[in-house]
A and B are shown apart, each in its own frame.
Chain A
């Protein structure tokens, strides 16, 4: 079969002629005439597996039913998407899946957001025609971030595709056959003993409640209810452009003000912004880079903001750890500053302060529990909630998100520059760093603050920069599959970059594992646009011009990379290749 995307193919779907480019699947073609073909294993960002067989359609050329997810219009006759045969087969398949499913929807993590539940409703399933064969399976909760409940698994393989093809982490794969066919880690070990980096891309694509983040909302409620605790919250840049989706707002809509007021109404004492500590990261990381270039340190330097990425280096490329910036991630810098500088300044005892992070990320849950993250003498960040968990709390509190007023962050840790905001998208850290480094080196402001070479959704981006005669070559990547390409280049000695930005999740934090479900590449772009809009609207767009950052250095830290800054804001890594 010859596929030529420039060639148009016309077929009939449900009697309606449809003209689409050659190589289009029947499922995509049906979409163009308003027919949504159901599926459980298909995901627009992932490779085709055709495991679930729900997307069946009738084809006049074939005796059997065809799957619409992988069959192309090029080899199709007249398609019928809704016939007695199709409905009967789809319904039987759903019933077969349900016969091996616990059906405990009322207390399932995905209640209300489950694709199987939705389909069961759409297909009017009213009881079990087949005998239940489901057996309980112990859950894997042996880590701070992820829960794997294989009892709920419908073996659609999306998570495996995300883990192997998108992230190349290869923590999970298929094993067993027939009714023992299942998705497991190597040797059935818990995630904590696997190459898993807790990026949560598997969670993001799971159609049911088999994979989810560890729920920490109760710990936050408890802290909020405790009169002896001062509860401080920080919100990551990528959360503000995604949280709205949970409440029916447009994709990528900027909901910063509503989110701040929701947090305040939930009872947080202070609502701060991770954009602030992102600015701080730029100060530290930018100066570290300049120091490495000047004094012959290990190059290329690689960013360390993304905890999934840090886990990946530790587990898979331990030999490249010297390349990774020693800077903590903005979340941890915030925790360290909040529990030292801010707590002392406000006269709050450090042990009475409770720092909560709202993150688009699942790996942050692991990061905050690393033993080295206690610069203040206590765990710097107490609890990490994902975007989804925050949405859960807002719903539980009965807040009508759309009706909330727009409010401002508290000071002093709530002021972030535009550079801090774009930390949430792939290319943002690099752009933010360039905005500051350029000025530090050349002593003048760049002509334009928009370094558009850093933007876009390509897997690997490169840019060149001239700092008054010093050429700087940088690379930007997101998704561990792409990161692997750059790491192999470094290992082979072929990477002539000075600085590399790596984000673990495709598209950066906007596509993080803690973001609202059903994130796709298209949705990520909306969120990216949202963040660049936030940046554009900011009066201050360079980290070193953030007045609160300037105050922090003059009052407390001294210089970037000072001794105190190193104690509080930098960390070290270790080889975890043996998991």
Chain B
């Protein structure tokens, strides 16, 4: 039996992405029609029953988010779709944006209907320039077919979607930074509280969800929240798009029911990754992008769902799975991760700005065989402080990968102090000039 499932991706490749006719022929807009005859609270209850956990990375229950926003007074409310898919190793939103943009628009329109909102924004990362054009074409055709715009399907409800382009900053994927960026302010996260549900875009109550989350909404309404939940596990329903990359035979996006596969399936099953190329061994795999934890071969039999992974100290995050074979030195890899966060930190809060800098310097020392035992303590303190004291998710999760490596592979760090890391000995010499 096949372990994949075609739910969100069912239409991908089978329809012209900007064709409303094709979309409707494949079951599109039925959920929006259904929604227009429902009470907003009923819709929210369906989303709650669906146990849809946010697909952007933080896995916040979408139903809860919707209910909170619904209870907040104030108009207008804004619907924002986060399509700033900046997490390295993540390209699942791209698939939906490119191949089935109308499903995202349908999800946004349903949210718009629930919150009686007239304006939705989709913030698409600047690197997806071609997709932005395609997405605009999809919006235009939906407006022409009266599924968006004024007086949708004769109901009197108006909902418009505007595209805003990112310009390459990872931090703009953080929801409050994203809203600042839409407002043409500097893309730095805001101070919270107030929460975005209360004081969001243009200081109005705002819903921000990920592309994949919005795409799930029509599915939930079509099949019912309960049925959607039953696709997955008890506390997390539906399917998940995973992005497989790195040292693995088949790279790409796959859709799996949550909890339906194990990590071993994802990496080794011929239907998914198909194992490590060139007869190499699996060394580690990085889950959920750079901000996620790193897993090791001994954890391969963990089921791919939020709870099971959490017990192992792992997480789904954005759905990225980056596979590393045994030619990768884990310190080198962490150094790259750290460099990424050092480059992308907005710099306003001390733990993230100064912490990432110090962390990078320490990993640099390890990589060059210049570290000492004292650096373990430094790393531990940095990791604790950055994770607990940073202002936003960037700083809080910047050390997730390091933490899992320190927990499971401390000996590799030690090997670098002692100068006996087998990978490094094979590839190059220790003692490069320490510089940063």
Residues of chain A at the chain B interface (Cβ within 8 Å): 1, 48-54, 56, 63-65, 70-72, 75, 85, 88-89, 92-93, 96-97, 99-100, 129-131, 133, 154-155, 157, 174, 176-181
Give the nearest-CB partner of A63 in chain B: B388
Is A50's CB under 8 angstroms from B346's CB?
A: no
Instruction: Report how far A72 CA is from B390 CA in the complex, Å.
Output: 18
Q: Does B144 have its Cβ within 8 Å of any Cβ on chain A?
A: no
| Chain B contacts for A96, CB-based, 8 A | 350-351, 354-355, 358, 385
B313 to chain A, nearest CB (A): 14
By a CB distance below 8 angstroms, the chain A residues around B382 are 92
Could you tell me the distance between the alpha carbons of A75 and B357 in the complex, rounded to whole angstroms?
Answer: 33
Q: Which of B347, B351, B384 contacts A176, CB < 8 Å?
A: B347
Partner of B388, one of A85, A157, A181: A85
> What does the 1/0 interface line of B369-411 toward A look like (CB < 8 Å)?
0000000001001101101111100001000000000000000
Q: A1 CA to B191 CA in the complex, in Å? A: 15
Q: Which residues of A contact B344 (CB under 8 A)?
A: 177-178
Shortest Cβ distance from B58 into chain A, in angstroms? 13
In the bound complex, CA of A570 to CA of B345 (Å): 53
* Measured CA separation A88–B191 after assembly (Å): 23
Smallest CB gap from A179: residue in B: B357
Which chain B residues lie closer than 8 Å to A181 at the CB level?
346-348, 353
Given A53-B350, A180-B347, also A1-B342 (CB < 8 A)? no
CB of B356 within 8 Å of the partner chain:
yes
- Additional pairs, 15, CB under 8 Å, beyond known A56-B388, A131-B361, A157-B348: A49-B191, A50-B349, A52-B350, A70-B193, A92-B385, A96-B355, A97-B354, A130-B378, A133-B354, A177-B345, A177-B346, A177-B347, A178-B343, A179-B347, A179-B354
Whether a CB of chain A sits under 8 angstroms from the CB of B18 is: no
> How far apart sit A495 and B354, CA to CA, in the bound complex (Å)?
50
**B-to-A contact residues, CB < 8 Å:** 169, 171, 186, 188, 191-195, 198, 342-351, 353-358, 361, 378, 381-382, 384-385, 387-391, 396
* Residue from B346, B350, B351, B387 with most neighbouring chain A CB atoms (10 Å): B350
Of all chain B residues, the one with the shortest Cβ separation from A92 is: B385
Which of A49, A75, A93, A177 is in CB contact (< 8 Å) with B169? A177
Q: Check A50 against B385 for contact (C-beta < 8 Å).
A: no
Give the chain B neighbours of A63 by CB distance below 8 A. 388
29 A-B contacts, Cβ less than 8 Å apart? A50-B349, A52-B349, A53-B351, A53-B391, A63-B388, A64-B387, A64-B389, A85-B388, A88-B385, A89-B384, A89-B385, A89-B388, A89-B389, A93-B350, A93-B389, A96-B354, A129-B381, A131-B358, A133-B354, A133-B361, A155-B348, A155-B353, A177-B171, A178-B342, A178-B344, A178-B346, A180-B347, A181-B346, A181-B353
- Of residues A56, A70, A97, A177, which shows the largest number of chain B Cβ atoms within 10 Å of its Cβ? A177
Contacts of A85 in B (CB 8 A): 388
What residues on B are CB-neighbors of A176 within 8 Å?
A: 347
User: In the bound complex, what is the Cα–Cα distance between A579 and B315 (angstroms)?
Assistant: 55
Least CB distance, A53 to chain B, in whole angstroms: 5
From known contacts A75-B193, A178-B346, infer whether A93 and B351 are also in contact, taking CB-CB under 8 Å: yes
Contact in complex: A70, B191 (CB < 8 Å): yes
Nearest-Cβ distance from residue A192 to partner chain B, whole angstroms: 26
Residues of A within 8 Å of B350, CB to CB, are 51-54, 93, 96-97, 154-155
CB contacts (< 8 Å) of B384 on chain A: these are 88-89, 92
- Residue with the greatest number of chain B CB neighbours at <10 A, chosen from A72, A93, A130, A178: A178
In this complex, the member of B171, B346, B385 whose beta carbon has the largest number of chain A beta carbons within 10 angstroms is B385
User: CA A180 – CA B389 in complex, angstroms?
Assistant: 20
Nearest residue in A to B197 (C-beta to C-beta)?
A: A1
Interface centre among A54, A92, A97 (most CB of B within 10 A): A92
Is B342's CB under 8 angstroms from A50's CB? no
Q: Please indicate the chain A residues that have their CB under 8 angstroms from the CB of B191 in the complex.
A: 48-50, 70
**Considering the chains assembled together, what is the distance between the CA atoms of A168 and B387 in angstroms?**
35
Could you say which residues of chain B place their CB within 8 Å of the CB of A70? 191-193
B193 near A71: Cβ-Cβ < 8 Å: yes
Chain A residues in 8 Å Cβ range of B355: 96
User: 9 closest A-B pairs (Cβ-Cβ)?
Assistant: A181-B347, A96-B354, A92-B385, A178-B345, A178-B347, A65-B388, A53-B389, A50-B191, A64-B388
Query: Is the CB–CB distance between B349 and A53 below 8 Å?
Result: yes
| B348 touching A92, Cβ below 8 Å | no
Q: A72 — nearest CB in chain B belongs to which residue?
A: B193
Q: Name the residue on B nearest A180 (C-beta).
A: B347
Q: Which residue of A lies closest to B171 (CB)?
A: A177
Which of B195, B198, B353, B390 is A179 in contact with, Cβ under 8 Å?
B353
CB distance from A335 to the nearest CB of B (A): 44
Distance, CA A89 to CA B171, complexed state (A): 23
Give the most central of B191, B195, B344: most A CB within 10 Å. Answer: B191
Please indicate the chain A residues that have their CB under 8 angstroms from the CB of B193 in the complex.
Answer: 1, 70-72, 75
**Nearest CB in chain B to that of A154: its residue:** B350
Residue on B nearest A157 in the bound complex, by CB: B348
For the complex formed, measure the closest distance between the CB of A41 and the CB atoms of chain B, giving whole angstroms: 9
Closest-CB distance, B161 to chain A (whole angstroms) = 29
Q: Is the CB of A64 within 8 A of B354?
A: no
Q: What is the minimal beta-carbon distance from B392 to any residue of chain A, in angstroms?
A: 10
Question: Do B396 and A64 touch (CB < 8 A)?
Answer: yes
Closest Cβ neighbor of B396 among chain A residues? A64
Q: List the A side residues contacting B347 at CB < 8 Å.
A: 155, 176-181
Whole-angstrom CA separation of A177 from B394 in the bound complex? 13
Residue of A nearest to B73 (CB): A2
- Look across to chain A and name the residue whose beta carbon is closest to the beta carbon of B354: A96
Determine if A174 and B186 form an interchain contact, defined as CB atoms under 8 angstroms apart. Answer: yes
Query: In whole angstroms, how far apart are the Cα atoms of A53 and B354 in the complex?
Result: 12
Interchain CA distance A92-B390 in the complex, whole Å: 12
> Could you tell me the distance in whole angstroms from the C-beta of B403 to the nearest C-beta in chain A?
14
A416–B347 Cα distance when bound, in Å, is: 52
**List of A residues within 8 angstroms of B390 by Cβ:** 53
Min Cβ gap A177→B in Å is: 5
Closest residue on chain B to residue A93 by CB atoms: B350
- Contact partner of A129 (CB less than 8 A), chosen from B342, B346, B378, is B378
Which residues of chain B are near A155, meaning CB under 8 Å?
347-348, 350, 353
State how many angstroms separate the Cβ of A59 from the closest Cβ of chain B.
11
Contacts of A56 in B (CB 8 A): 388-389
- Could you tell me the distance between the alpha carbons of A93 and B387 in the complex, rounded to whole angstroms? 12
